[in-house]
């Protein structure tokens, strides 16, 4: 079953097709059309995204926009943050540049979170948030088709000027998502506690 069909068959959100089958969700493995290490990296990224999807199933706009005492961020803000981080790393690694002014205007609130994100990222339903996430992921998948394992080993100055390779940078993309998904689960638990008194 195509990965996209998981979302549709389980009552989730429409997704564009990818190369994964549900039976392969738990395999860090090669993917057709990608070099070996790239495919394995993408398989981990896709699993992280799948678990994010599971964590947000069934949430309405009010729940997505609620800020609780366990986080200064709403679930909606965190979902957009995932897309923003992924987009920023596309630009940094594939285009070897920083976000330009118009990109900072579009993605900055989600990258920065906090008050700036709260003011501009509310009032949208799950289909909207998922469409943004999938649009960015589709571009990631297309970009990774054009590179190989040697590209992943490319080293650049990174945090505090320390060297990092593109493999680490893209590991950080889904590491950040996994970290914030923990926040999403805490927020959701708090919402359920407050709903049931």
Mean pLDDT over all residues of the chain? 86
Cα(197)–Cα(192) distance, integer angstroms: 8
Cα(16)–Cα(122) distance, integer angstroms: 24
Question: What is the sign, positive or negative, of the torsion defined by CA atoms of 172, 173, 178, 184?
Answer: positive
Mean pLDDT of 70-82: 90
% residues pLDDT > 70 (the chain): 88
Name the pTM for this structure.
Answer: 0.87
Q: Which two tokens stand for residue 150?
A: 């040697």
Cα(167)–Cα(161) distance, integer angstroms: 17
* Predicted confidence (pLDDT) per residue in 102-127, tens digit: 999 999 999 998 777 777 888 999 99
Cα(114)–Cα(196) distance, integer angstroms: 28
Q: Is 141 helix (H, G, I), strand (E, B) or coil?
A: helix
Q: What is the pLDDT of residue 158?
A: 94
Specify the DSSP class assigned to residue 58.
T
If one compares 185 and 69, the residue with the highest pLDDT of the two is 185
Does 5 have pLDDT greater than 50? Answer: no
Radius of gyration of the chain (CA): 17
Q: How far is CA 48 from CA 53, 171, 197, in A?
A: 9, 11, 32
Please list, in sequence order, all residues whose beta carbon lies within 8 angstroms of the beta carbon of residue 90, skipping any fewer than 6 positions away: 136, 139, 140, 143
* Predicted confidence (pLDDT) per residue in 123-179, tens digit: 999 999 999 999 999 999 999 999 999 999 999 999 999 999 999 999 999 999 999
Res. 21 pLDDT band, cuts 50 70 90: low
Q: What is the pLDDT of residue 15?
A: 42
């Amino acid at each position: 079953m195509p990965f996209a069909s998981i979302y549709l068959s389980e009552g989730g959100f429409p997704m564009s097709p990818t190369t994964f089958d549900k039976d392969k969700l738990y395999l860090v493995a090669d993917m057709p059309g990608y070099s070996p290490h790239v495919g394995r990296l993408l398989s981990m990224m896709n699993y992280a995204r799948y678990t994010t999807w599971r964590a947000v199933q069934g949430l309405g706009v009010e729940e997505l926009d609620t800020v609780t005492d366990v986080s200064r961020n709403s679930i909606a803000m965190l979902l957009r943050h995932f897309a923003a981080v992924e987009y920023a790393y596309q630009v940094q690694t594939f285009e070897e540049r920083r976000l330009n002014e118009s990109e900072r205007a579009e993605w900055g609130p989600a990258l920065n979170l906090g008050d700036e994100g709260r003011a501009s990222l509310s009032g949208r339903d799950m289909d909207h948030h998922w469409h943004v996430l999938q649009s960015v992921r589709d571009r990631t998948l297309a970009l990774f088709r054009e590179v190989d394992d040697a590209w992943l080993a490319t080293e650049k100055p990174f945090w505090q000027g320390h060297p990092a390779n593109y493999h680490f940078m893209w590991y950080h993309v889904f590491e950040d998502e996994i970290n914030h998904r923990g926040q999403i689960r805490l927020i959701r638990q708090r919402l359920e506690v407050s709903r049931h008194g």
